Structure 1
Amino acid sequence: MTDVLPAGQGGPLIVAAALVREGAFFAARRTYPPTLAGLWEFPGGKCEPGEDAHTALRRECREELGVEIAVHDEVRPGPDAGPGAASGAGSAERADGPQGAAGDWAGWTLANGLRMRVFRASLLTGEPRLTDAHDDGAWLPLDPAALEVPWIPADVPIVERLLALWARQTARGPGR
């Protein structure tokens, strides 16, 4: 699987972490730009040229939160995403060209047209600490109450999918 967004795909790939522990996930409230200030998001950032998604995500969490993480599975839309899942902010699409033809997934579409790939992750060392990009952070419950904070609109379907995955996982129980 190719984790680097090919040239000509509309800009840098954005990566984000759904840091999960003990029935909760970490989110942070933006301080800028003004259009996003006060809205909550998954921590992450842009891939640097030639950087794969996992490496970029580990670097971004180290820089933004001061933590080391283990990167796990990717949060992708489910089969129940419906016909509207491939258009608009927060949607999910396959890439055009060779990447899409191979079945690789391009990521969630953000309002600015960039793509974001979100991975479940766990803390290896440290506790999240905020930098100037965020003025608040919290471990939100992996239940519908997590949707009560004001999210960046493109992140809402990702939160919903994360909650659905968690509900399915907990319904199966441990070891199933």
Structure 2
Amino acid sequence: MTERIVVVGAALLDGGRLLAARRSAPVDLAGRWELPGGKVEPGETPDRALVRELREELGVGTEAVRRVPGEWPLRPPYVLHVWTARLITGVPRPLQDHDALRWLAPHEVWDVDWLDQDVPAVKEVVRTAWGDGPDGHAPSA
């Protein structure tokens, strides 16, 4: 049995918004949106991988906050784990594998064409970050 390789995705949250990144490569993924991130390297913890990937891909300093419940299959042997993350330094810009970034308010999360494998993860991020209201907001008290 092949060992699974964890890919970490960042639910980078700032000012009540979620960052989405549009893929520029590979060709079959180009033009669709994802949570930025990448593979956990041997000997690396997932939270450190997340911070490293966001520095490499977006040029920002971040802090991994908590793992979003769930695991989502990618192409074998990869599985996606998502972590919420906080922006510490810098302004995100697309440096690797992306050609655009977009900050999405709760009511805008579904305005972009997410990669199929990211959709269930994004749904869980919306649920855990903003509650179960119709637009992603927690119901008013």
TM-score strictly above 0.5: yes
Distance 1:153 1:113 in 2: 17
Specify the alignment match of 1:84 in structure 2: none
Give, in whole Å, the separation in 1 of the partners of 2:75 and 2:2. Answer: 18
CA apart distance, 1:172: 8.1
Structure 2 Cα separation of the partners of residues 150 and 156 of structure 1: 9
Measure the CA separation in 2 of the matches of 1:36 and 1:112: 16
Distance in 2 (alpha carbons) for counterparts of 1:132 and 1:20? 20
| Alignment coverage as a number of residue pairs | 136
1:9 matched to which residue of 2? 3
CA drift at 1:111:
3.9
Q: Deviations over 1:35-73 (max 9, x none)?
A: 100010111011111111011111111111111101111
Contact 2:2 2:77 in 1 (8 A): no
Counterpart pick for 1:116 among 74, 77, 80: 80
Unaligned runs of 5+ in 1: 1-6, 78-106
Q: Distance in 1 between matches of 2:123 and 2:131?
A: 12
Runs of 4+ with deviation above 4 angstroms: none
- Amino acid in structure 2 at the alignment position of 1:128: P
Q: CA deviation at 1:113?
A: 4.4
Instruction: State whether residues 72 and 119 of structure 1, in contact with CA within 8 Å, keep that contact through their aligned partners in structure 2.
Output: yes
Q: What pairs with 1:2-81 in structure 2 (closer than 5 Å)? A: 8-10=2-4, 12-77=5-70
Residues in 1 aligned to 2:16 and 2:65: alpha-carbon distance in whole angstroms: 16
Distance of aligned partners of 1:151 and 1:172 in 2 relative to their CA distance in 1, 3 Å threshold: closer
Q: Distance in 2 between matches of 1:30 and 1:162?
A: 20
Distance 2:129 2:53 in 1: 24
5+ unaligned residues in a row in structure 2: which ranges?
none
Matched residue SS, 2:91: coil
Q: Is the 8 A contact 2:131 2:139 kept in 1?
A: yes
Secondary structure of 2:83's aligned partner = strand
